[in-house]
């Protein structure tokens, strides 16, 4: 899993950032007790779900860097190669983890297998947390992959806000479907739409695209590069993300005790304000020479980042149900075991399966050795 742009530039710090995102989500689920600075770490654990937002913004950023030029012409080969790489990148390991998780949980419902194998569980509330447990976010990611060619093709004409409004409007159609008496209820309410679907979370991906196009793919790039030693983007992003993580719960507590108001306020902060700071952080790590970029881009940070996808898929079911309850009842220890196993899994399982899938399904003239 190499974070490359279309010219082949490699952003090792962004690979390391994937590990941070995965470990934040783990902390949110594990809620580990830290004996020092307890209130600080409790707040980070409570809001560790924001690691998912990190993944979404980073995904939009990297897809824009890697493929913006691929869709300027409606060449079938470019589109075919893009979808092939996306499927080869995420599906083989996801399929293995999902089958094992469904069997382990003894979930043999046909509907559960159907939606999990087709990465659609995020659209159906009764199946959102089946399988690997975090598969709903994979549905969001896959929906973005499906939309990305069109978004990038017409980005210059429509821009961020019009694409956001159009996507949200499409989500409104799903919301109307959710009011029908279907066998599989889909998107039952606006809260689910904003929390768990691409249509409600699209701004996170689109702000990543905007940052990539504005600061790395635009004529203004030399101006930005001349200031790469300042670290402004990086540390404004870090400060903003940490501030939101620490203050969102106290801020929401000040509101009247009206669940719809609190839910809407949360989504405004999480889905719209937070991604702006994440976009600043991602841009900074790609452009600026900072201590944080060196740390995340180190050999250890890069290795942990490469293992972050398996870690993310495995931590919810296998980390807790297997490792914590049957191997080591220490949440920090489980984190260490999962991190090491995930790095090994990348080299032993994920990377070979990725290459094998590309070799099996790529037309010979379209085989590409570089992967995102």
CA distance 305 to 13: 9
pLDDT of the residue at 185: 83
- Pairwise CA distance, residues 82 & 183, whole Å: 34
The whole-angstrom separation of Cα 231 and Cα 365 is 42
Euclidean distance between CA atoms 313 and 346, whole angstroms: 12
Q: What is the dihedral of CA 288, 294, 297, 299, to 10 degrees?
A: 160
Write down the domain spans for the chain.
12-366
What's the pLDDT score for residue 78? 78
* Residue ranges, the chain, pLDDT below 70: 1-8, 73-75, 219-229, 363-372
What pLDDT was estimated at residue 153?
93
Distance of alpha carbon 315 from alpha carbon 301, whole angstroms: 19
In Å, how far are 41, 227, 250, 268 from 28, measured between CA atoms?
A: 11, 35, 17, 20
Contact assessment for residue 130 and residue 103, using Cβ atoms and an 8 Å cutoff: no
Question: For position 182, what pLDDT does the model report?
Answer: 76
Backbone angles phi, psi at 4, to 5 degrees: -110, 155
- How far, in Å, CA of 25 to CA of 49, rounded? 5
């Amino acid at each position: 899993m190499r974070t490359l742009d279309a010219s082949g530039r490699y952003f090792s710090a962004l690979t390391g950032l994937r590990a941070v995102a995965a470990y934040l989500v783990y902390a949110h689920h594990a809620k580990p007790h830290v004996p020092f600075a307890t209130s600080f770490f409790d707040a980070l654990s409570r809001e560790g779900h924001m690691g998912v937002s990190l993944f979404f913004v980073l995904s939009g950023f990297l897809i824009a860097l890697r493929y913006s030029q691929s869709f300027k012409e409606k060449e079938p080969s470019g589109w075919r190669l893009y979808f092939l790489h996306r499927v080869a990148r995420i599906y083989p390991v996801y399929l293995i983890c999902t089958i094992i998780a469904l069997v382990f949980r003894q979930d043999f419902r046909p509907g559960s297998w159907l939606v999990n194998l087709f990465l659609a569980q995020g659209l159906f509330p009764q199946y959102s947390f089946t399988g690997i447990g975090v598969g709903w976010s994979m549905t969001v990611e896959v929906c973005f992959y499906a939309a990305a060619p069109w978004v990038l093709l017409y980005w210059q004409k429509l821009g961020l806000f019009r694409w956001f409004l159009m996507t949200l409007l499409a989500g409104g159609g799903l919301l109307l479907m959710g009011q029908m008496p279907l066998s599989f209820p889909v998107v039952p309410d606006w809260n689910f739409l904003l929390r768990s679907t691409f249509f409600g979370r699209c701004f996170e991906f689109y702000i990543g695209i905007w940052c990539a196009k504005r600061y790395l793919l635009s004529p203004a790039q030399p101006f930005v590069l001349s200031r790469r030693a300042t670290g402004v983007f990086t540390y404004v992003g870090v400060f903003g993300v940490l501030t939101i993580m620490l203050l969102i719960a106290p801020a929401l507590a000040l509101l009247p005790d009206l669940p719809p108001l609190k839910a809407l306020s949360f989504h405004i902060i999480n889905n719209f304000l937070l991604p702006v700071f994440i976009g600043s952080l991602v841009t900074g790590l790609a452009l600026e020479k900072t201590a944080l970029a060196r740390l995340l881009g180190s050999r250890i940070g890069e290795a942990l980042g490469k293992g972050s996808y398996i870690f993310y898929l495995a931590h919810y079911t296998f980390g807790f149900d297997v490792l914590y309850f049957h191997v080591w009842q220490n949440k920090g220890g489980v984190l260490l075991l999962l991190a090491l196993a995930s790095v090994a899994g990348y080299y032993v399982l994920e990377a070979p399966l990725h290459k094998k899938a590309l070799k099996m399904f790529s037309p010979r003239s379209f085989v590409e050795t570089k992967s995102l």
